[in-house]
């Protein structure tokens, strides 16, 4: 009888072990699928484009060169774009996070009258918008054109982020804490500042990373509202450099060997621009990763 139990136990443990190995293999495959494109862009940015076309950079660089980075950073617009993007991202992240948190908190309070009706109006805006032209006219009439606030205020409140933050407040802040704060004489503002915010670091980290990535990668809004090239963010500056490089390649198409050389330089600039634009976010993410994972899981599922 004891032998049968041991045999059954070993079979179960063997089955668990096989499942663990299978999960590790599956996760490893997914990680490689995510990381390899990033790795490929990096090695392609320091390789000769002809070798990239020939498939010689599948795992390692070939024809090592930093010409792409040299040409990218030679442009004055890159330094200016970096400084502009940092400014827009920092200010935009602070403003957007503050607006989302201050919007989500009242909507999470069960004693707020009309909160469901207000939430319905918010959700409607996720499916129906005024359109690009009416939005442009509003921005123009309010005097925001060609300013930093044109990139920040129109999209400052993301309804999706509001829903995630509201769910976090509802599921992670016990109602008893509100009642205790009320007994101690705390008003709504003091309760929010002294109790809710200190307990909301995970969801704030989520809102920060969402806003940070959105503002850093946004180039289309700047393309619409920015007229002064000195105010272009990095992504739009890189786009302009890519367009100029491609135009130069097309202009040299009639010369012997001219197009091939210009196209080689264009490819170098393209891959180098991808790395230059992505590195800041890759550096910033680890600093909020601990809170980000917890906040996203708790804020996404109510219970």
Tokens 């096989």, residue located: 18
* pLDDT tens for each residue of 228-251: 888 889 888 888 877 777 666 666
The backbone torsions φ and ψ at residue 296, rounded to the nearest 5 degrees and listed phi first, read -65, -40
* pLDDT tens for each residue of 56-114: 778 888 878 888 888 888 878 888 888 899 999 999 999 999 999 999 998 888 888 88
Residues of the chain with CATH 1.10.3720.10: 67-300
pLDDT band at 303 (very low <50, low <70, confident <90, very high): very low
- What counts of helices (H) and strands (E) characterise the chain? 14, 0
Domain 67-300, CATH homologous superfamily name and number? MetI-like (1.10.3720.10)
Q: 54 pLDDT exceeds 80?
A: no
Q: What share of the chain is helix, strand, coil (3-state, %, to 5)?
A: 80, 0, 20
Instruction: Compute the C-alpha angle 207/213/218, nearest 5°.
Output: 125
Q: Give me the sign of the Cα torsion angle 15, 16, 18, 22.
A: positive
The backbone torsions φ and ψ at residue 73, rounded to the nearest 5 degrees and listed phi first, read -80, -10
Give pTM, 2 decimals. Answer: 0.77
The backbone torsions φ and ψ at residue 227, rounded to the nearest 5 degrees and listed phi first, read -105, -25
């Amino acid at each position: 009888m004891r032998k049968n139990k041991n045999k059954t136990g070993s079979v179960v443990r063997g089955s668990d072990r096989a499942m663990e190995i299978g999960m590790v293999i599956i996760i490893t495959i997914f990680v490689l699928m995510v990381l390899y494109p990033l790795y490929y862009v990096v090695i392609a940015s320091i390789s000769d484009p002809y070798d990239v076309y020939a498939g010689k950079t599948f795992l390692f660089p070939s024809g090592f060169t930093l010409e792409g980075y040299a040409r990218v950073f030679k442009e004055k617009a890159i330094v200016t774009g970096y400084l502009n993007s940092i400014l827009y991202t920092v200010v935009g992240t602070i403003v957007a996070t503050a607006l989302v948190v201050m919007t989500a908190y009242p909507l999470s309070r069960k004693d707020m009258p009309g909160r469901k009706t207000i939430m319905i109006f918010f959700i409607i805006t996720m499916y129906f918008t005024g359109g690009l032209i009416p939005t442009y006219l509003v921005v123009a009439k309010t005097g925001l054109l060609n300013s930093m606030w044109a990139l920040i205020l129109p999209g400052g409140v993301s309804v999706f982020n509001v829903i995630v933050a509201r769910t976090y407040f509802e599921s992670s802040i016990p109602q008893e804490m509100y009642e205790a704060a009320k007994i101690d004489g705390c008003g709504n503002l003091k309760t929010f500042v002294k109790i809710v915010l200190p307990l909301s670091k995970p969801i704030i980290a989520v809102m920060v990373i969402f806003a940070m990535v959105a503002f850093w990668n946004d180039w289309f809004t700047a393309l619409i509202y920015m007229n002064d090239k000195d105010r272009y963010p990095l992504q739009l500056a890189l786009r302009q450099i890519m367009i100029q490089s491609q135009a130069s390649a097309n202009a040299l198409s009639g010369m012997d060997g001219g197009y091939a050389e210009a196209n080689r330089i264009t490819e170098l600039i393209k891959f180098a621009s991808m790395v230059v634009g992505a590195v800041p976010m890759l550096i910033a993410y680890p600093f909020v990763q601990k809170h980000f994972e917890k906040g996203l899981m708790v804020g996404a599922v109510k219970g």
